[in-house]
Structure 1
Amino acid sequence: MYRVSLSADDDFEGWRDAARALAVSQIPASDIVWSVGSGGSDLFGDQPVPAANPLAGFGVPKPFIDLAQSAILHSDPERFSLLYAVLLRVRSQPSDMQDRADPLLRRVEMLAKAVRRDIHKMRAFVRFREVEDTGKTEKRYVAWFEPEHHIVRRNAGFFVRRFANMHWSILTPELSIHWDGERLQESPGAERGDAPSEDPVEDIWKGYYAAIFNPARLKVGAMLSEMPKKYWRNLPEASMIPNLIAGAQAREANMIAASPKPSAPPPTRAATPGDNAQGAWEALRADAMGCTRCHLHLLGTQTVFGEGPIGARLMIIGEQPGDQEDLAGRPFVGPAGKVFDAALEQAGIDRARVYLTNAVKHFKHELRGKRRIHQTPQTAEIQACRWWLQQETEIIRPRITLALGATAARAMIGKTVTIGKTRGAPIILENGGEGWVTVHPSYLLRIPDAAKAAEERERFVEDLRNVRERLEAA
């Protein structure tokens, strides 16, 4: 038997190095014992892990790496062995990664899904409370959280980025992390009593939460699915939820009785002082910064959210951020963005009056040396991100939405369409608005023939003019 002792429960690098050496030597999964820490000794003695041959070729599909990095954080003690078994299979048959009916692969994917959900829950339900830090001028904040899996180190970067200017600690039973504004440090696990149980500011938060609680939109089942009761004891607003639910029906009836009976609503509306559309958009954008709906959040530098005036009459959707957009955090600022800006100017459209966004909010790419090469998003990734696009559309309420390219068109309409068949004609969308489809400006950059490229650019500008004229006529 071969025994592999990993340094920690989330030691992906240690597992990867050992698995590579064992797989090259064609050691079956049944002959390996995986443990964390010093571990024990097998009854019949353990053999050392064979040294990896640096000249031996070793390749696995990229989706397997993404899957393994998540699944290895699960609390299931069999995860190391399961991943190794999948590794042996896909190394010889890479196409097996596409076999969603395979029981072994499905089991590992369920582990990864549970880990991603736990990461999301930690980001959603950590609540910091202020504590006195003797001798320190900076305020310090402490939170308590009980993750189901080994996700604390993986999630640390999110909290460093989100709360970079705060001094904070997150205490968990297994591991605690601390940020002093410059360095991230770790310490052993803690107990719930080590974290503060209340904060004077919470009374203000509770009052705000009660004020924004909308009984007309209450769905208890959905709420419990997204916010299970086991998290309630760490949330200051949780003590109010039972009473708010109990009084929801009466409050809803009062809201209906007190609401005015307006005539038909206008097709669009602009944000005005006192309107909460701006606040809703800001909250949505902040939430999207921590999106983990698909694995692309592990690739991109950051979420690239939409930008533009709230209440814009025209929304334009691209495919996804490119390399420069990913670094800048803004849509349409790279080479395709320059082509796009020039076409907008020729068509007489002011970019500052347009809401610009993408169907997919993270940069999907593969590394080739130091270059990050664009990859087209797949159906599952488009669908995972479509929720954000729908929320943007609900807040902006554009009269016309223009999709640039097939990916954007799929996200806008909800099904696969071809540019040739849908280009140049209005489409009635689910929200009652009007949709149009044209090519993506990056397509214009890829046309090798100069005459053909000029022709297609003029056609692209003409599509933009048609949209502008449609808005003016409306």
Structure 2
Amino acid sequence: MARSSLVQVRLGAGADLDGFRAAARSLVAGGVPPEAVVFTSGEAADLFGAPVLPEGEPLSLPRAAADLVQLVACHRDPERWALLYRLIWRLTHGEKALLEVMSDPLVHRLAMMAKAIRRDLHKMHAFVRFRRVETAEGERYIAWFEPDNHILAAAAPFFRNRFGSLDWTILTPGGRVRWTGGALHYGPPATRDEAPTGDGFEEGWRDYYESTFNPARLNTTAMRAEMPKKYWRNMPETAAIPALVRAATSRVGDMMDREPAMPVKRNPDKAVAAMQDQAPRSLDELNRIIAASGPLVPGATRAVLGEGPVGAAIAFVGEQPGDQEDLQGRPFVGPAGQLLDRALEEAGIDRADVYLTNAVKHFKFVRRGSRRIHESPTAGEVKHYRWWLERELDLVRPGFVVALGATAALALTGHAVPVGRNR
């Protein structure tokens, strides 16, 4: 094909998914093969070349392909659009099962790009740190983050759902997003000096991090893999890491030299009473207390907080997080969550409009080999978490609450509720 017959597609900067979808529809409708298309990025999105392409109908792609396109569109690789169009062309020209062939070089490369985006999203969800700022408009929370890819728009709904009651802004080199309670507002690229360098909460956060640091389990290789050093300068707790690492050997020696002592029995009731004294004024404040207070069930790792908008019409309360919830730090993302999603869809309810939480905020499990097997919380453990749940629902103010199972009903009512007789 001569150079003059090439079709050039110019897309907007970043993850211009809408522009790519429109272009792909036109290209497929016009019968333009992948080798005849050149994709470029610019400020404005337009389609030009010869011949003039028709406006295409929506493409019928497998769900897995649509999800892959949405992820890979966020990648920084300039070849992503050409690779994605080649995938779409092959799917719409007879290779319907293409995505099942992981040995195919195109499928493998796109899968690796999608994996990189999922990893980048996970890092952003975990490592964004908001700083409180007092302005003439009131209290605001601002964060600076430097993602590897164009993921700001893909990551923003997570923070909207998690911090729906706050006025917050995330600044990145590629753009910014602000949430004020009504909608997500996107803006131009930012510089680091636009973000605050600290707030009054950070000293307490560093103290908590230092108190939970276990020198006997220090593994700097694993630490750098999970929390790469490039994110450290934006995370207040990392300022303590060098000193903690340097002192780890001597601290372990001190621990070994101490006289054996009987463990101090933890009293969860005192912990709950102490939390009551703190009287959090917002859902974000309560979540900070929950995250910092440590688990009240054995074997748990981190708190899985509630998710959804303040003032939701419906709040769903489950028993406790499962394995996937504990790994991802979000409620109802495992098998039970997938079942709930299907039920919500059949009922015509948008998951983004409801509030989801659990009676117990930590994953209680027993380990069998490499697997972590769910273990139901006791009535006493449910009681210990009950103040958190009641305060959480007071702050969310749902129209009504749905108990998903007997444990949730026990937490909400304070007494055993046989599900079969009270469904």
Query: Is the TM-score greater than 0.5?
Result: yes
Tell me what 2:295 maps to. 277
Whether 2:410 is the aligned partner of 1:392: answer no
Any residues of structure 2 matched to 1:281-300 within 5 Å, and which? 283-286=302-305
Instruction: Determine if contact 1:167/1:180 at 8 Å carries over to the other structure.
Output: yes
Residue 307 of structure 1, aligned match among 315, 319, 322: 319
Whether 2:46 is the aligned partner of 1:71: answer no
Give distance in 2, aligned partners of 1:111 and 1:67. 9
Q: How many residues align?
A: 324
Instruction: Determine if contact 2:161/2:307 at 8 Å carries over to the other structure.
Output: no
Tell me what 1:89 maps to. 90
Any residues of structure 2 matched to 1:245-260 within 5 Å, and which? 245-258=245-258, 260=260
Cα distance, 1:175 vs structure 2: 0.4
Give distance in 2, aligned partners of 1:71 and 1:433. 38
Whether 2:25 is the aligned partner of 1:20: answer yes
Cα distance, 1:236 vs structure 2: 1.1
Amino acid at match of 1:182: G
Tell me what 1:439 maps to. none
Residue 281 to residue 163, structure 1, CA distance change in 2 (3 Å):
farther
Cα distance, 1:107 vs structure 2: 0.7
Whether 2:179 is the aligned partner of 1:161: answer no
- Secondary structure (helix, strand or coil) at the match of 2:303 reads helix
Residue 30 of structure 1, aligned match among 31, 35, 49: 35
What do the CA deviations read for 1:312-360 (whole angstroms, capped 9, x no partner)? xxx9x8999xxxxxxxx998xxxxxxxxxxxxxxxxxxxxxxxxx9645
Could you tell me the percent identity over the aligned residues? 35
Stretches of structure 2 lacking an aligned partner (at least 5 in a row):
1-5, 272-292, 309-315, 349-361, 377-423
Instruction: Determine if contact 1:141/1:168 at 8 Å carries over to the other structure.
Output: yes
Give distance in 2, aligned partners of 1:359 and 1:107. 28
- Secondary structure (helix, strand or coil) at the match of 2:39 reads strand
Cα distance, 1:363 vs structure 2: 4.7
Cα distance, 1:156 vs structure 2: 1.2
Q: Which has the higher contact order (CA 8 A, sep 6+)?
A: 2
Cα distance, 1:270 vs structure 2: 10
Amino acid at match of 1:119: L
Whether 2:116 is the aligned partner of 1:114: answer yes
Give distance in 2, aligned partners of 1:53 and 1:188. 31
Residue 186 to residue 431, structure 1, CA distance change in 2 (3 Å):
closer
Residue 156 to residue 431, structure 1, CA distance change in 2 (3 Å):
closer
Give distance in 1, aligned partners of 2:89 and 2:270. 61
What do the CA deviations read for 1:78-115 (whole angstroms, capped 9, x no partner)? 00000111111222211121111111111111111111
Whether 2:213 is the aligned partner of 1:213: answer yes
Whether 2:21 is the aligned partner of 1:50: answer no
Amino acid at match of 1:46: G
What do the CA deviations read for 1:21-46 (whole angstroms, capped 9, x no partner)? 2123331112112123357999xx82
Residue 70 to residue 162, structure 1, CA distance change in 2 (3 Å):
same
Tell me what 1:148 maps to. 148
Cα distance, 1:307 vs structure 2: 1.4
Tell me what 1:239 maps to. 239
What do the CA deviations read for 1:415-435 (whole angstroms, capped 9, x no partner)? xxxxxxxxxxxxxx877999x
- Secondary structure (helix, strand or coil) at the match of 2:10 reads strand
Give distance in 2, aligned partners of 1:204 and 1:270. 22
Cα distance, 1:180 vs structure 2: 2.0
- Secondary structure (helix, strand or coil) at the match of 1:285 reads coil
Tell me what 1:202 maps to. 202
Tell me what 2:358 maps to. none
Instruction: Determine if contact 1:206/1:236 at 8 Å carries over to the other structure.
Output: yes
- Residues 63-72 or 7-16, more deviating: 7-16
Cα distance, 1:202 vs structure 2: 1.3
Q: Larger C-alpha radius of gyration, 1 or 2?
A: 1
What do the CA deviations read for 1:117-144 (whole angstroms, capped 9, x no partner)? 11111111111112231x22x2112111
- Residues 24-33 or 107-116, more deviating: 24-33
Amino acid at match of 1:80: W
Give distance in 1, aligned partners of 2:102 and 2:126. 30
Residue 201 to residue 289, structure 1, CA distance change in 2 (3 Å):
same
Amino acid at match of 1:216: A
Cα distance, 1:75 vs structure 2: 0.4
Cα distance, 1:227 vs structure 2: 0.8
Give distance in 2, aligned partners of 1:358 and 1:430. 13
Amino acid at match of 2:230: K
Give distance in 2, aligned partners of 1:214 and 1:79. 43
Cα distance, 1:149 vs structure 2: 0.7
Any residues of structure 2 matched to 1:279-428 within 5 Å, and which? 283-286=302-305, 307=319, 359=335, 361-363=337-339, 371=346, 392-394=363-365, 397=366
Amino acid at match of 2:214: N
Stretches of structure 1 lacking an aligned partner (at least 5 in a row):
264-268, 291-303, 309-314, 321-328, 332-356, 374-390, 399-411, 415-428, 435-474
Residue 196 to residue 48, structure 1, CA distance change in 2 (3 Å):
farther
Give distance in 1, aligned partners of 2:234 and 2:240. 13
Amino acid at match of 1:285: V
Instruction: Determine if contact 2:76/2:149 at 8 Å carries over to the other structure.
Output: yes
CA RMSD of aligned residues (A): 4.2
Cα distance, 1:152 vs structure 2: 0.6
Cα distance, 1:262 vs structure 2: 6.4
